[in-house]
């Protein structure tokens, strides 16, 4: 057939395939999202309970403040394009502080807050924070302490009905 290339033409045309494949794959590599990082500023007037203080004090500056711009500078060269903040503080208003920090930080793509399902105000707090599109769910330690209480279970149902996640923090007990 006249339209079929010769063997030499076929081989010479095929030589570009590896380069074309490499270029195509380079454009389709998935973005890297860090799914667990913390923001904090221990220099705020109210301080921050996380990270725990270094025994004897004298915390290095990197142990005092972790904000989106610092995080972005560290991870961007590694190919990280976004992060989900996971709350380490049990203080209710620290949820708002994180959301305020994330408001103008495109590197922050989500937030797992800290609300206590045993708190009678859980539903109102969930509704408040869920208004922010970055709020994805809650982190809860000691989940076992409430599983036998109907109000606790009802609050977990509110969480599920709000299409939120439940991140169970399972700290080590003992040594």
Closest by CA to 37, choosing from 80, 96, 93, is 80
pLDDT mean across residues, the chain: 84
Residue 19 CB neighbour total at 10 angstroms: 9
Residue 89 and residue 113 in contact, taking contact as beta carbons nearer than 8 Å: no
pLDDT tens digit string along 116-144?
A: 999 999 999 999 999 999 999 999 887 77
pLDDT of amino acid 68 = 96
Question: Is pLDDT at 58 greater than 90 in this prediction?
Answer: no
46-60, 103-117, 137-151, range with the lowest pLDDT: 46-60
pLDDT tens digit string along 7-30?
A: 555 455 555 555 555 555 565 678
pLDDT of amino acid 147 = 87
Three-state DSSP at 165 gives strand
Question: Is pLDDT at 145 greater than 50 in this prediction?
Answer: yes
Confidence of residue 164 (pLDDT cuts 50, 70, 90): very high
pLDDT of amino acid 13 = 58
Residues 72-96: what's their mean pLDDT? 95
**Encoding tokens for residue 170?**
């399972």
Distance CA 68, CA 85 (A): 10
Strand runs labelled E in the chain: 32-37, 40-41, 65-66, 80-86, 108-113, 135-141, 165-169
Q: What is the pTM of this model?
A: 0.77
């Amino acid at each position: 057939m006249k339209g079929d290339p010769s063997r030499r033409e076929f081989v010479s045309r095929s030589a570009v395939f590896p380069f074309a494949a490499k270029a195509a794959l380079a454009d389709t590599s998935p973005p890297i999202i860090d799914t667990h990082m913390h923001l904090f500023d221990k220099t705020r007037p109210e301080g921050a309970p996380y990270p725990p203080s270094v025994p004897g004090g004298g915390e290095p500056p990197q142990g005092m403040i972790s904000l989106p711009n610092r995080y972005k500078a560290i991870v961007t060269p590694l190919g990280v394009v976004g992060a989900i903040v996971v709350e380490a503080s049990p203080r209710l208003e620290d949820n708002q502080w994180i959301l305020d920090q994330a408001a103008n930080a495109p590197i922050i793509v989500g937030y797992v807050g800290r609300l206590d399902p045993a708190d009678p105000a859980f539903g109102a707090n969930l509704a408040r924070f869920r208004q922010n599109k970055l709020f994805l769910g809650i982190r809860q330690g000691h989940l076992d302490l409430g599983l036998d209480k109907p109000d606790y279970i009802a609050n977990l149902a509110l969480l599920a009905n709000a299409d939120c996640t439940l991140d169970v923090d399972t700290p080590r007990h003992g040594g």
